[in-house]
Amino acid sequence: MIVRMNPTPPNGNRRIAPPARAALLLVGAALLAGCGSTQVSGAGGGAPGPVGATGGRTSAKATAPNTPSSAALPTPTPVPAPTCSPEGVSLAAEEANAAMGLRVMAIRLTNCGAAPYTLNGRPGVRVLDADRAPLDIAVQKGSAGIATLEGFDAAPTAVTLRPGEYAAFQLVWRNTVTSGTKGADNGRFLEIAPLPGRPPVVVPAYLDLGTTGRLGISAWAEATAAARPGNDRPGAPLAR
């Protein structure tokens, strides 16, 4: 549209033709209407929130960046699962049962190989410290006078495990401290040969042996109740 302007009057003031003035007034009104649509106060006189595409107000919570929580709990360190030895067995220590300073712990052996595995007798056991150095602990057959425990001194019998089956033996000790000069012995690992002469396996296990210097071991038995979680009675008899 061509707007024709009147010539400049003698007093130097330019006049806008009526049609052009009307057009400018319409443009100004449109601009004021557009600006006024965003100047809406929030509840309580606060700053307005952003306006959504449909004209409604968008929640500030919905538009906040997704930031990680600083109070997130650390991921616990996983406990490694027992590994299968080259001989086809894995060993693991169960939690020790405790009563009046007496400790009884079961050690489970699982046949993780592909062939039957036979046990007959008692394992060879050494107690190791945190550096895996041997402690001066006398490992004795049976309860060794440490306590009277039902079934602990049973004679060894042959146990043949098919793949996936397990057997267990038990350890017994007291955590009594009777010496004021000798430090208490605390085992952190057990070196266990399933039978004397067979390759040993090192098993993580905590033994608070006090200053007694003695540890009794039972014979192998199949599917023992002592090796099952939930048995909280020290010296529980081995289940056949």
The 10s digit of each residue's pLDDT in 105-135 is 999 999 999 999 999 999 999 999 999 999 9
Q: Output b/e per residue, 203-225; b: 16+ Cβ within 10 A.
A: bebebbbbbbebbbbbbbbbebb
How does residue 70 score in pLDDT terms, banded at 50, 70 and 90? very low
How does residue 19 score in pLDDT terms, banded at 50, 70 and 90? low
* Strand ranges, E, within the chain: 89-93, 97-99, 102-111, 117-120, 124-128, 138-141, 158-161, 166-174, 185-193, 201-210, 214-217, 221-222
Closest residue by Cα to residue 218 from 141, 160, 166, 158: 141
CB 217 within 8 A of CB 170: yes
Has residue 205 got a pLDDT over 50? yes
Residue 92, both tokens: 């693991």
Residues 6 or more apart whose CB falls under 8 angstroms from that of 72 comprise: none
How does residue 240 score in pLDDT terms, banded at 50, 70 and 90? very low
List the chain domain ranges: 89-222
CB 38 within 8 A of CB 48: yes
CA dist 143 and 153 (Å) reads 6
What residues form DSSP beta bridges with 142?
217
The 10s digit of each residue's pLDDT in 30-42 is 544 454 444 434 3
Q: Which CATH number fits domain 89-222: 1.10.1060, 1.25.40, 1.10.3470, 2.60.40?
A: 2.60.40
How does residue 236 score in pLDDT terms, banded at 50, 70 and 90? very low
Half-sphere exposure of 44 (CA within 13 A, CB side): 2
DSSP-derived pairing of the beta strands 166-174 and 221-222 = antiparallel
More confident of the two residues 100 and 239:
100
CA dist 232 and 61 (Å) reads 52
Cα torsion angle, 138, 141, 145, 147, sign: positive
Note the pLDDT of residue 180. 66
